[in-house]
A = this chain, B = another copy of it.
Amino acid sequence: MSKEQNKEIVLAEHPKGVPTKETFKINDIDLPSPKDGELLLKTIYVSVDPGKRGFMDKGEDNAAGKKFQLDEAITSRSDAQVLESKSDAFKKDDIVHGRLAWKKFQAVPTDGLEKVDPELAPLQTSVSVLGVTGLAAYFGLLKIGKPKKGETVVVSGAAGSVGSTVAQIAKIKGCRVVGIAGSKAKIDYLENELGIDKGINYKKTVNMESAIKEACPDGVDVFFDNVGGDLFDAVFANSNRKSRMVICGQIAEYNDDDQPEGPRPQHLLIKKSAKIEGFVVFDFEDEFDEAKKQLADWYNSGKLKYKENLVEGFENIPSAFIGLFSGENIGKQMVKVSEEE
């Protein structure tokens, strides 16, 4: 193992609105020694996800997870290699996946870690299309949205890591798929590389409600919403009887201090016998293995593509995270911290 200096990234201050460089601080730390039952890990890939923003606020922990404390290392889903094992569960050189601290090296107990099967697909897919984002797309669409062949599925944030997977799974299931995204490059990617039926660039659209009506002549049966806000209203207005609004991450709201106001949906929910349902991917933890196999099959057969937005270097994790909120990235944002040995 290399003798390089160990580092960690901690929460330096609770962000107000969009996180900035000042939100984070990089510290030099000692190389830890694993205790009995622990592993010494070297971080390889780190996933940066907008959902982490919600845990950076001051305040009480909630059911969705623990808030980050000041001067405490941020955690996110990561791949790491076992440099030393004092546990029977994993051996040296195994690649593990789980929620790990933003540290170059760390000694941790094995709870919540899973072994990455190198046969399934390339390693970095375990923080993307076979990781939390792919699983969120899979479960949110199939278990909550339950699209039927021939139905119309609308996806917001469609060029993002979750949205692009949702769009493609909906196509695999025989649906008409309309994706909403915020740049010409994203619309091109969705229509030409991923083969969805219609992309809508919300930044160039004056009346979203009419644009969606035009793009969905049979109305909307499933809306997989990664964005929220006014966009929700515009799609919901076009939703059909028994339609299902799947709420997965609300990037437009993460940075708001107050709960935003909007039209109350209840009256339309009755008229349409429709539902709005939120979820977090860990609701479906018992079914992860099955889902990963299916996602890997689709990925390996070319039916499910994804674009990596791979940033190199541990020190660039904060800027990769901050970049999520600028609306520019296509595909899965991740950071490569070190090479697999």
Bound complex: CA of A193 vs CA of B228, how far in Å?
Answer: 44
Find chain B residues with CB under 8 A from A228 CB: 264, 266-267
Bound complex: CA of A131 vs CA of B261, how far in Å?
Answer: 37
Closest B residue to A275 by CB, please name it: B277
Contact of A249 among B225, B241, B242, B270 (CB under 8 A): B270
Contact in complex: A260, B264 (CB < 8 Å):
yes
Contact in complex: A277, B274 (CB < 8 Å):
yes
A265 within 8 A of B: yes
Contact in complex: A250, B270 (CB < 8 Å):
yes
A211 within 8 A of B: no
From A248, A266, A273, A274, name the one whose CB has the most chain B CB atoms within 10 angstroms: A266
Task: Tell me whether chain A's interface is mostly helix, strand or loop, or mixed.
Answer: mixed
Encode A198-222 as 1/0 by CB contact (under 8 A) with B. Answer: 0000000000000000000000000
Q: Which of A51-84 contact B (CB under 8 A)?
A: 54, 62-64
Contact of A264 among B241, B248, B261 (CB under 8 A): B261
A247-B269 contact, Cβ under 8 Å, with A275-B276, A275-B278, A278-B274? yes
Contact of A269 among B272, B274, B278 (CB under 8 A): B278
Min CB–CB distance A209 → chain B (angstroms): 13
Find chain B residues with CB under 8 A from A271 CB: 54, 62-64, 278, 280
Min CB–CB distance A136 → chain B (angstroms): 11
Bound complex: CA of A248 vs CA of B275, how far in Å?
Answer: 12
Find chain B residues with CB under 8 A from A229 CB: 264
Q: Pull 29 A–B residue pairs with CB atoms less than 8 Å apart, ordered by A.
A: A54-B271, A62-B271, A63-B241, A64-B270, A64-B271, A225-B266, A228-B266, A229-B264, A242-B283, A253-B266, A259-B267, A259-B268, A260-B263, A261-B261, A261-B262, A262-B264, A265-B276, A266-B276, A269-B276, A269-B278, A270-B278, A270-B279, A271-B278, A273-B278, A273-B280, A275-B275, A276-B276, A276-B277, A277-B277
Additional 18 contacts, C-beta under 8 A, given A64-B270, A228-B264, A269-B277: A62-B271, A63-B241, A247-B270, A249-B270, A250-B267, A259-B264, A259-B267, A260-B263, A262-B262, A265-B276, A266-B278, A269-B276, A270-B279, A270-B280, A273-B278, A274-B277, A275-B275, A275-B278
Return the 8 tightest CB-CB contacts between A and B, nearest first: A269-B278, A275-B277, A270-B278, A259-B263, A262-B264, A63-B241, A64-B271, A247-B266
